[in-house]
Amino acid sequence: MTSGEYVLSADHGLRARPVPVPGCTLCAHLARWFDQYAGAGPRHDESAAVDCVVEIRNHPHEPPKMTVKEFPRPR
């Protein structure tokens, strides 16, 4: 997970934004979900954001570390 982008974490420190593995659909979805969970608003959930980071680091997701639920694509 390397990136020039950083996001503010719950402890007010900066953390690298997760970078999805190129060509991996699940990683791409997890990165979008991370953005939703890490951002401000009704879907803000720091724990879920961390879960997304852990699963991206677990690529190729064998075995998966979390259950990925289907829900509408973030807007």
Question: Is 68 inside any structural domain?
Answer: yes
In a domain, 8, yes or no: no
In a domain, 3, yes or no: no
Among 6-15, 23-32, 52-61, the range of highest mean pLDDT: 23-32
Q: Is 56 a domain residue?
A: yes
pTM, two decimal places: 0.66
Residue 22, pLDDT score: 94
Q: What residue type is assigned to position 57 of the chain?
A: R
How does DSSP classify residue 4?
S
pLDDT of residue 69: 60
Whole-angstrom Cα distance, residue 74 to residue 61? 22
Q: Which pLDDT value is given to residue 60?
A: 87
User: How many structural domains are present in the chain?
Assistant: 1
Q: Which domain holds residue 66?
A: 20-75
Residue whose structure tokens are 């999805």: 20
In a domain, 9, yes or no: no
Q: What is the pLDDT of residue 23?
A: 94
Would 4 be classed as within a structural domain? no
